[in-house]
Structure 1
């Protein structure tokens, strides 16, 4: 005989999932016992269910397979929510197995009971409660297929008296549909888009994650049109290397070249991107948008020509109808601005920057305590990290420094909470990535606020021997919030973090800890951290007043920042 829990776990293992993340608990004990007896699966116990959901979501994004996490009755299920929302907004196929009170007690306000159907209604593409063994394998298949085909979260609830029930002999094992054939665009839409592109004098591309599988076609498109390419943050995977058309990111992560490329074009061609920041789109341009999901088209910026379909098929179909343009002025102008900006940024990746005239003057203004500049840390990690490293990054200033100083080359991968914007994602996503391959380098760019929010799961890295490299930008601040306050003229308040020596905390847990306070010690410390064969936390004390100027700064932001600094001179940030 086979139980409900055993059949569920067999289906997950047959699919190719290799880990299940969660915290053990009574309602799901039959499930964890089934995992114990399934050689193809490993139980990854964590200290907080939010970590389980983030880790499962990371695995789903890296593999395309189901990421699986578990949370038992009530609080265990609730704790999954934030990581599941990140999976939802990252379009990651995740199966959450959650507990429930025994069937006879459902609806009685029993101890720990919550209404899972209501709790998960917004975050899930599918949610169901198994109340009878006869519902399997249909419900399991529906859950897995919904997550895989709709690229979202499926929730399967097991009451405490269901997981251990026997199934009739010969009950078939559920199977999931993994095929997701690319959709070809409509010919008329393609023709209209080609005509608009051909009529435009200057074209700029805005390229995102959805174009990653169309790299060759998109690069050929840029070559034919002489078009500079603004790359969305998630588009760094695929377009951050060997790309002579790239001019960097836009928005708060951007630079003057992206503004130039966007503002001086006649036509903006968006390929596989849902870039959300409306203020950074140019006005008065013809806009063509290519996206596999028609609901994404036009929701950020008005679109003149919509092409619904796979980016590779759409761009490939356009290329035979677009002639190569001899004029390269638009591209060359934007590229020159980008290369100049990059050259200026490289000044910060120099431990002696502040001894030189420009750096000395700047230190007097924004770094009187001579803390390490975060740009130097990011640049050194990029220099010494493996060519196939997986990077995760916390939301906030850590992402800014990664965006500007880390190249996601051909074999590197990048994960972050780029759509939900949660704190504390880098550590759990790194755990998920590392569990897939313990021999591949995984580097997490952690903010000190993010790391300390889920610091208990440093223990998880040690317990499961996951050799993650945790790089902490320890500036004693919620840095992005501080910057947001100052840009509108507020003195920073509530942003100061009373951090311990994080390297010593790591050592106490059993992890290698390295703390750096002198920029001249940083290069060697980064080398040692990345070469260490186990988990390591590199605690780098960085400058809390470092400013990342956006691609399109406004006079109001500059004036607000000046006012804020004046207030901070007379008001304690505490």
Structure 2
């Protein structure tokens, strides 16, 4: 019995284990959405914007380490996928995008809605092709999926509107399975790396997402080297909880203890990270780097010993060659500084902070309206969220507060646009995560700017009755941009947002909305949000003047901030 091109594709994705296809329906996709309708286990998730569909597919891919799938129809529908696909590409996660196209005979004629998809997706995709005949399937599908999985990126298949319903013989099913393998460096390179670490003085480890699958081995190596462990944001998941060696993050969202651990080391060991901010790497250190992607090695900081291999087998090879160090001073010093910093942060987040003497003085300068401090909101969520919750966060200040006040303990997961840095990712990523497991708690840290950008997909949350908890840091600002302007000595401009009452918007859509505007109501509001079944939007009016002090604040930043504040008060009617 013959099957259509669309049915061959959906049957193959079903066999691969794909459970959801995200998109917006449209003419060129009709054969594919009909094949999904007839499928036994693949479910169509209709979004309100294709960008949200691509973010959701990428989220599922990251959480399952398998293929995510999204679709966009002819022209604008495919164009809208692009930002979410860039996020998947820069996150190194496999996603298949099926893009509609005008009928084959009209390609190249500037037909209504025609877009050159092969050109459009050229930069974002590790594989892209236009299906020009039914006979090319399922071969092109197999190449696309294997390339996406093997190279951990985006594959785009463009299908003209008159191809999807053409029929193929049933004797050629698609075969999409891909077997992975772990690479170990050769012994001479392991010997060289072990010598560098053994004789390299004080060692600090910078650990990234690529090491998450080797947690116990990495912790054993930290103990062996008496090395403090600085974590990238993506390595919070997997390495933060129950880790006696970690000292938090470095960089703009980091802390002084991590910066001290980096600066005070003689040798840096980079494990599975492509941490991009060159200014945060100290100079004059010996550097050993392990990364399975060879082209990542040395592109941020000069490397003395390069190991292009998987972290797990590499670390196990190093453990075989290294003895446990007796001198623990470097590790103990970094951990002590980290503990002191954490205690200070918890004081800032305490519910009664602004009622104390220091808090009252501080509020007179930076919180005259007595709005909720975002630190307190993030800390309250951390306490009430489940130990297996999935967190998503919008780029900007929402991520800063999550990074500092939410601990990735237990089996918590973390998603964000941490490589692309897009706005508006938290809610659609939460949609993808919640669909994977309706019974698992999913918490989205939404910026008010990000939520507003893709606000329409609140209707997707409502229509699917997804029990996500959307926590909105509503400071009426593009907060990170405001901070960047002020640190540069510029008065705030263009960052103010005239927001609606997001809780009322949620209620109008059939979602429970809770609005908190006073610190004394925060605990009750957060508790009610987590106790309420189904989807909840918690809209918290947070202080827009809150400052996230970086790990190594500079005199220039402080001076610039002071100048900016003077300018703002001179230009604002009546000051602030």
Using structure 1 for the length normalisation, give the TM-score.
0.99
Corresponding residue for residue 478 of structure 1: 478
**SS of 1:321 mapped into structure 2:** coil
Structure 1 residue aligned with 2:330: 330
* Greater Cα offset, 4-13 or 528-537: 528-537
Number of the residue aligned with 1:18: 19
Quote the Cα distance in structure 1 between the aligned partners of 2:458 and 2:558.
39
- The corresponding residue for 2:28 is 27
1:136 Cα shift? 0.9
Give the CA deviation at 1:186: 2.1
User: In 2, Cα distance between the equivalents of 1:470 and 1:338?
Assistant: 30
The match for 1:175 is 175
Write the distance in 1 (CA, Å) between the matches of 2:350 and 2:222: 34
Hey, what does 1:90 align to over in structure 2?
91
Asked whether 1:155 is paired with 2:156, we answer: yes
Q: For residue 176 of structure 1, report the CA deviation from its aligned partner.
A: 1.3
> What aligned pairs does 1:280-319 form with structure 2 within 5 A after superposition?
280-319=280-319
Find the aligned partners of 2:310 and 2:67 in 1 and give their Cα distance: 22
**After TM superposition, what 4+ stretches of structure 1 lie above 2 angstroms from structure 2?**
none
Q: Give the SS at the match of 1:252.
A: coil
2:341 and 2:369 map into 1 onto residues whose CA distance is 27
| Pairwise CA distance, 1:531 | 2.1
Deviations 1:128-173 (A, max 9, x none): 11111111110010111111111000001110101111112x2322
Q: 1:129-168 to 2 correspondence within 5 Å?
A: 129-168=130-169
2:555 matched residue in structure 1? 555
Match in the other structure for 1:218: 218
Corresponding residue for residue 208 of structure 2? 208
Q: Please, which moves more after superposition, 416-425 or 341-350?
A: 341-350
1:218-266 CA deviation, whole Å, 9 max, x = no partner?
1111111111110110001111111111110000111110111011111
More displaced stretch, 178-187 vs 283-292: 178-187
Find the aligned partners of 2:78 and 2:487 in 1 and give their Cα distance.
38
Residue 331 of structure 1, CA deviation? 0.7
**1:44 match: secondary structure:** strand
Which residue does 1:250 correspond to in 2? 250
Q: Matched residue of 2:182: which SS?
A: coil
Query: 3-state SS of the aligned residue for 1:315?
Result: helix
Q: Which residue of 1 aligns with 2:103?
A: 102
Q: Deviations over 1:357-410 (max 9, x none)?
A: 111111111111111000000001000001100000000000000000001113
Deviation (angstroms), 1:572: 3.2
Contact 2:16–2:177 (8 Å) recurs in 1: no
Per-residue CA shift, 1:184-233, capped at 9, x if unaligned? 11222111111111112210010010000111111111111111110110
Cα distance in 1 for partners of 2:264, 2:54 equals 43
> Distance in 1 between the 2:73 and 2:348 partners?
48
Contact 1:51 1:428 in 2 (8 A): yes
Q: Using the TM superposition, give the Cα deviation of residue 350 of structure 1 relative to its aligned residue in structure 2, in angstroms.
A: 1.6
Contact 1:131-1:159 at 8 Å conserved across structures? yes
**Contact 1:206–1:231 (CA<8 Å) still a contact in 2?**
yes
Q: How far apart, in 1, do the equivalents of 2:23 and 2:331 lie?
A: 50
Aligned partner of 2:78 in structure 1 is 77
**Distance (Å, rounded) in 1 between the aligned partners of 2:185 and 2:375:** 42
Question: Once the two structures are superposed, what CA deviation does each residue of 1:459-479 show, in whole Å capped at 9, x if it has no partner?
Answer: 000111111110000000000
Aligned to 2:357: 357
Deviations 1:90-145 (A, max 9, x none): 01110000100000000000000000110011000111111111111100101111
What is the distance in 2 between the residues matched to 1:311 and 1:166?
46
Q: Give 3-state SS (helix, strand or coil) of 2:114's partner.
A: coil
Instruction: Give the deviation of 1:272 after TM superposition.
Output: 0.6
What is the SS of the residue equivalent to 1:73?
A: coil
More displaced stretch, 175-184 vs 437-446: 175-184
Q: CA deviation at 1:10?
A: 0.4
Which structure 1 residue ranges, 5 or more long, are not aligned?
A: none
The answer for the alignment partner of 2:387 in structure 1 is: 387
Q: Helix, strand or coil for the counterpart of 2:252?
A: helix
Structure-1 residue corresponding to 2:498:
498
For residue 570 of structure 2, give the secondary structure of its aligned residue in structure 1.
coil
Output aligned runs, 1:331-480, within 5 Å: 331-480=331-480
Work out whether residues 291 and 307 of structure 1, in 8 Å CA contact, stay in contact via their aligned partners in 2: yes
Q: Is the 8 A contact 1:186 1:307 kept in 2?
A: no
Displacement of 1:349: 2.1
Establish whether residue 238 from structure 1 lines up as the match of residue 233 from structure 2.
no
SS at match of 2:571: coil
Correspondence for 2:185: 185
CA distance in structure 1 between the aligned counterparts of 2:16 and 2:162, rounded to whole angstroms: 26
Tell whether the 8 Å contact from 2:470 to 2:537 is kept in structure 1 after alignment.
yes
CA displacement at 1:73 relative to structure 2:
0.2
Unaligned ranges ≥5, structure 2: none
Give the Cα–Cα distance (whole angstroms) in 2 for the partners of residues 10 and 171 of structure 1: 13
Whether the aligned pair in 1 keeps the contact of 2:236 and 2:408 (CA below 8 Å) is yes
Tell me the TM-score normalized by structure 2. 0.98
Task: Tell me the number of residue pairs that the alignment of Structure 1 and Structure 2 aligns.
Answer: 573
Contact 1:186 1:308 in 2 (8 A): no
Structure 2 CA distance, aligned partners of 1:189 and 1:562? 51
Contact 1:148 1:177 in 2 (8 A): no
Deviations 1:333-374 (A, max 9, x none): 111110000000001222211111111111111111111000
Distance 1:539 1:175 in 2: 47
- Retained in 2: the 8 A contact 1:374–1:401? yes
